[in-house]
């Protein structure tokens, strides 16, 4: 049976959830609640019920779950009130601004017996899935280093995302997605150190980009870069693995794989550079490599809600677990700490 959902916040992402619910095979939209009356009017104009307060949502016994899509600094209060009010809760990312806030939310979930998760929708992005499936398959061996980058050229959106008090900045905005993805690819690794540098090119108050290096005890490395002042973008994903390399230039493109067939080459044709010849950095003889493209993985973002609804019915565990939420939060907190201290820090679980 379909579950009835109310969406809290009818801005950019709230509208996405509403459109999604209207098309969903597992949801029925009860309505929206937004503190901004103009958003309520917009909803009514679309034939959607607009609640007049959060209490009205909580007191509506027909509502099974709420999705919270409001600015990051107001997640805590709304999540806790909805859980305590007997609703299952999906909160937008970043779920919280600190580990202690997150624990308060998790405690409210435990005490109320209601499910609580975060909308990590980029677990359904096909670029990430391609990298994750390649790593899992062992086709080119274990990853030694994965670089995950998103480059834009328009700075931070000129809204609350540029303001510290609302939880703005790119670590909390895009970083959380890329960290979450990499920690799923490196799910069996133990983090050793964190090093992070923030950029403030277009915004002095919050990070408008960052470079984050997560080093694992095994020696493997995850590198994340978000930039909002890049007029030429670097490739979306690069993987260096034990038996080859993989590249995704753009998140709409297929993965290029080069698997090393023969380590030794007979004759290497040197490359002429201005400074002289190099054999070390010359391209490999193509007969020593297996080069091919991977099919774009199948993905359906509706599976996020299908999973959550099944989890409410006790049939499956929720896709994004509390422990995964805790780990992502700790990585972001310690990335900020490393940037502030301007040094590499030992990761504390
Ligand atoms: P937005 O500014 O477009 O919309 C926020 C809405 O929340 C506004 O309509 C505002 O009036 C309303 N609001 C503010 N405080 C409220 C409160 N206390 N109660 C009810 N309504 C309130 O912002 P957005 O882009 O929709 O972002 C909302 C959340 O979604 C953020 O946490 C953001 O990080 C997240 N987000 C996630 C993704 C994703 O891909 N998962 C993408 C964009 C945004």
Can you list the domains of the chain with their CATH numbers?
3-119 (3.40.50.720), 123-300+330-346 (3.30.360.10)
Question: What separation in angstroms does the CA of 33 have from each of 41, 44, 48, 177?
Answer: 11, 11, 10, 26
Judged against a pLDDT cut of 90, whether residue 348 lies above it is answered with: yes
Tell me the CA–centroid distance for residue 157 and ligand 1, in Å. 13
**Interval 132-188: pLDDT, tens:** 999 999 999 999 999 999 999 999 998 999 999 999 999 999 999 999 999 999 999
In short, whether 207's Cβ falls inside 6 Å of ligand 1 is no
Tell me the CA–centroid distance for residue 223 and ligand 1, in Å. 28
> Among 8, 41, 69, 152, which is best to mutate for testing ligand 1, by the most ligand atoms less than 8 A from CB?
69
Cross-strand bridge partners of residue 29: 5
In short, whether 74's Cβ falls inside 6 Å of ligand 1 is yes
In short, whether 159's Cβ falls inside 6 Å of ligand 1 is yes
Nearest 5 degrees, angle CA 331-CA 216-CA 224?
A: 50
Judged against a pLDDT cut of 90, whether residue 220 lies above it is answered with: yes
Give mean pLDDT, residues 28-37. Answer: 98
What percent of the chain is modeled with pLDDT above 90?
97
Closest ligand 1 atom to residue 36 Cα is 11
What pLDDT is recorded for position 205?
96
What pLDDT is recorded for position 240?
98
Give mean pLDDT, residues 243-271. Answer: 94
Q: Compute the radius of gyration of the chain from its Cα atoms.
A: 23
Which residue has the least CA distance to atom 9 on ligand 1?
Answer: 11
Question: What separation in angstroms does the CA of 218 have from each of 9, 43, 144, 193, 344?
Answer: 43, 52, 9, 11, 17
In short, whether 325's Cβ falls inside 6 Å of ligand 1 is no
Closest ligand 1 atom to residue 74 Cα is 18
- Per-residue exposure over 178-213, b if at least 16 CB sit within 10 Å of its own CB, e if not: bbbbbbbbbeebebbbbbbebbeeebeebbbbbbbb
Judged against a pLDDT cut of 90, whether residue 267 lies above it is answered with: no
**Interval 291-338: pLDDT, tens:** 999 999 999 999 999 999 999 999 999 999 999 999 999 999 999 999
Give mean pLDDT, residues 239-262. Answer: 96
As a whole number, the mean pLDDT across the chain is: 97
Give mean pLDDT, residues 25-38. Answer: 98
> Among 19, 54, 92, 175, which is best to mutate for testing ligand 1, by the most ligand atoms less than 8 A from CB?
92
d(CA 47, CA 39): 13
What pLDDT is recorded for position 273?
93
Tell me the CA–centroid distance for residue 71 and ligand 1, in Å. 5
What pLDDT is recorded for position 325?
98
In short, whether 155's Cβ falls inside 6 Å of ligand 1 is no
Tell me the CA–centroid distance for residue 92 and ligand 1, in Å. 8
Tell me the CA–centroid distance for residue 156 and ligand 1, in Å. 15
What pLDDT is recorded for position 266?
82
d(CA 34, CA 51): 8
What pLDDT is recorded for position 51?
98
What pLDDT is recorded for position 252?
86
Which residue has the least CA distance to atom 31 on ligand 1?
Answer: 71
**Interval 96-124: pLDDT, tens:** 999 999 999 999 999 999 999 999 999 99
Tell me the CA–centroid distance for residue 46 and ligand 1, in Å. 19
In short, whether 125's Cβ falls inside 6 Å of ligand 1 is no
Tell me the CA–centroid distance for residue 74 and ligand 1, in Å. 9
Tell me the CA–centroid distance for residue 167 and ligand 1, in Å. 11
Give mean pLDDT, residues 25-37. Answer: 98
> Which band of pLDDT confidence, cut at 50, 70 and 90, is reported for residue 265?
confident
């Amino acid at each position: 049976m379909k579950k009835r959902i109310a969406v809290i916040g009818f801005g950019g992402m709230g509208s996405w959830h509403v459109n999604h619910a209207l098309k969903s095979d597992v949801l029925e939209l009860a309505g929206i609640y937004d503190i901004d009356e103009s958003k309520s009017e917009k909803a009514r104009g679309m034939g959607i019920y607009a609640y007049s307060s959060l209490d009205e949502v909580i007191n509506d016994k027909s509502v099974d779950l709420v999705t919270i899509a409001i600015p990051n600094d107001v997640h805590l209060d709304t999540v806790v009130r909805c859980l305590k009010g007997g609703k299952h809760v999906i909160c937008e990312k970043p779920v919280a601004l600190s580990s202690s806030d997150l624990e308060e939310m998790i405690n409210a979930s435990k005490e109320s017996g209601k499910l609580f998760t975060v909308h990590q929708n980029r677990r359904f992005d096909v670029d990430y899935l391609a990298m994750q499936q390649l790593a899992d398959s062992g086709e080119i061996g274990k990853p030694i280093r994965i670089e995950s980058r998103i480059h834009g050229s328009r700075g931070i959106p000129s809204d609350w995302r540029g303001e510290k008090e609302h939880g703005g900045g790119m670590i909390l905005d895009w970083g959380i997605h890329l960290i979450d993805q990499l920690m799923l690819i490196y799910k069996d690794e133990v983090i050793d150190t964190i090093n992070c540098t923030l950029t403030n090119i277009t915004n002095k108050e919050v990070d408008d980009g960052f470079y984050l290096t997560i080093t694992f005890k095994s020696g493997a490395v995850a590198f994340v870069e978000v930039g909002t002042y890049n007029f030429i973008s670097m490739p979306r994903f690069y993987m260096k693995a034990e038996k080859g390399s993989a590249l995704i230039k753009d998140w709409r493109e297929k993965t290029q794989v080069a698997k090393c067939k023969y380590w030794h080459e007979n004759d290497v044709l040197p490359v002429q550079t201005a400074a002289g010849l190099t054999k070390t950095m010359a391209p490999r003889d193509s007969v020593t490599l297996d080069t091919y493209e991977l099919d774009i993985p199948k993905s359906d973002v509706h599976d996020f809600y299908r999973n959550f609804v099944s989890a409410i019915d006790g049939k499956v565990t929720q896709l994004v677990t509390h422990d995964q939420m805790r780990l992502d939060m700790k990585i972001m907190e310690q990335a900020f700490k490393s940037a502030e201290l301007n040094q590499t820090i030992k990761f504390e679980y």
